[in-house]
Amino acid sequence: MAQCRFESEVLRKPALHIAKPLGNILKQQNEIDMSMTQVAFLRKAKIPTKEKIETLIRELGYEFEFIDNFELFYGLDGVECNINGHKTFFELYFEEPAEIGNEWPWIKPDLTNQDTIISFVWGADFAAGACIGLICIALIDLSEANIYYLDDEMKYSREMLINDTPQFLHELEKQKPNNAEIRKQEEPKSDLTNKPKSFLDRIKDIFK
């Protein structure tokens, strides 16, 4: 992973991690594995620093830090984080939203002057889900970002992300040795087999 200090000229001409168009990324992930993609639409000029994101998340009551050494949350190909003592990693992609309105027309009414998309890509990892949610809260507060889960055509509000985080961390705690099997035995079985699965439930299925 490249680690560098971003100056003003780098911000104007970044070396973006764009291996393929966003639509192709999603299609390939759905066909091959259980990866998930959450995206943030925002103005490049409002992208916050590493320190500001960490400070805001800690003010929410979480022990959070970026393990990687960088200054601006931009032009990275992925980051390692630590959330409440759990280390994790997820990929990042940066691109311009020029074609997104045509590919995802349900987002089009929300677009105004956003000129950057940050895509968060991760797999079967509750710690990554928690970190991404908290970072997205910071991007809403600091950068007025719009947050979406594209696979389900869902826009995330700040409140939804706040509510999801404790659930991610709860599931993470259930995976600890000596506790996982005990908790599994104590959980009552549900016969609501036709009940629609939530985004978090999809991730739980991966660990069955």
State pLDDT tens for residues 169-190.
999 888 877 554 545 555 555 5
Q: Domain boundaries in the chain?
A: 37-172+200-206
Amino acid identity, residue 32? I
Mean pLDDT of 56-84: 96
Size of the chain, expressed as the number of residues it contains: 208
Distance CA 163, CA 188 (A): 23
Distance CA 97, CA 145 (A): 13
Strand arrangement, sheet containing 116-122? 64-66, 78-83, 86-95, 116-122, 36-42, 146-149, 154-156
Q: Which of 28, 166, 20 is nearest to 93 (CA)?
A: 20
Alpha helices per DSSP H over 33-125: 50-59, 100-103
Contact 34, 26 (CB under 8 A): no
Distance CA 21, CA 156 (A): 22
SS3 state of residue 146:
strand
More confident residue, 144 or 194: 144
35 pLDDT higher than 90 = no
More confident residue, 126 or 198: 126
Which residues are within 8 A (CB) of 86 and not within 5 positions of it... i.e. 6 or more apart? 127, 172
Give the pLDDT confidence of 83-127 residue by residue, as tens digits.
Answer: 999 999 999 999 987 766 567 788 888 888 999 999 999 988 999
